[in-house]
Amino acid sequence: MTLFVPFDGSELATTALEKAATFGELLDEDVLVVTVIPDDPQYAVERGWITDGEPFNSDEIAAGLQTQAGEIAPNATVRIERVSSDEPTATARTTVVREIRQVATDVEASIVFIGSKNAGSVIAPPSSVGGTVAGDHRYDVYVVRHPAIDVDPEEIADIDSMID
């Protein structure tokens, strides 16, 4: 069983990776983090990987995302995929989605952890890859729609004390 996490460094993807890492530890399963980087500077700007006008360097982007993912889930395997945006009928987003789905299939992912506000919604914005990846029926999907919230352990009630 492979727990699979598409990772773009966003807050929701970070929370999805945290959840996958926790599941991986509890279930003693491998966690595979995949970042897909198209050769499209505008896509990189939209994801916050670079600022508008900053030179596009996929190696620097890959190194930064790999480091970030490794800090979040040190036991996970991080895989960087680079894709070309040259296909005239496909957008960078379409190419990224296609690659994520292909890798999930290749590794026989059992659960895909997606950080997306819109995955599973009836209407998803064109910039979201989550909705399309979540639509694949070859694997289960865990959708993270809200970023992690820090909870003070003192505020958590002891469940045993609630049982009479």
For the CA atoms of 43, 44, 50, 53, the dihedral, rounded to the nearest 10 degrees, stands at -40
As a whole number of angstroms, the distance between CA 36 and CA 9 comes to: 11
pLDDT of residue 146: 72
pLDDT of residue 81: 96
pLDDT of residue 120: 45
As a whole number of angstroms, the distance between CA 141 and CA 124 comes to: 16
Show pLDDT as tens, one digit a residue, over the chain (164 residues).
899 999 999 999 999 999 999 999 999 999 999 999 999 999 999 999 999 999 999 999 999 999 999 999 999 999 999 999 777 777 888 899 899 999 999 999 999 999 876 554 433 444 445 545 555 556 777 888 777 666 555 554 554 554 44
Domains, the chain, in order of start with CATH, read 2-162 (3.40.50.620)
pLDDT of residue 34: 96
* Nearest C-alpha neighbor of 97 from the set 34, 9, 44, 146: 34
Amino acid residing at 152: D
Give the angle 111-45-104 at the CA atoms, nearest 5°. Answer: 20
As a whole number of angstroms, the distance between CA 118 and CA 131 comes to: 6
CB 104 within 8 A of CB 135: no
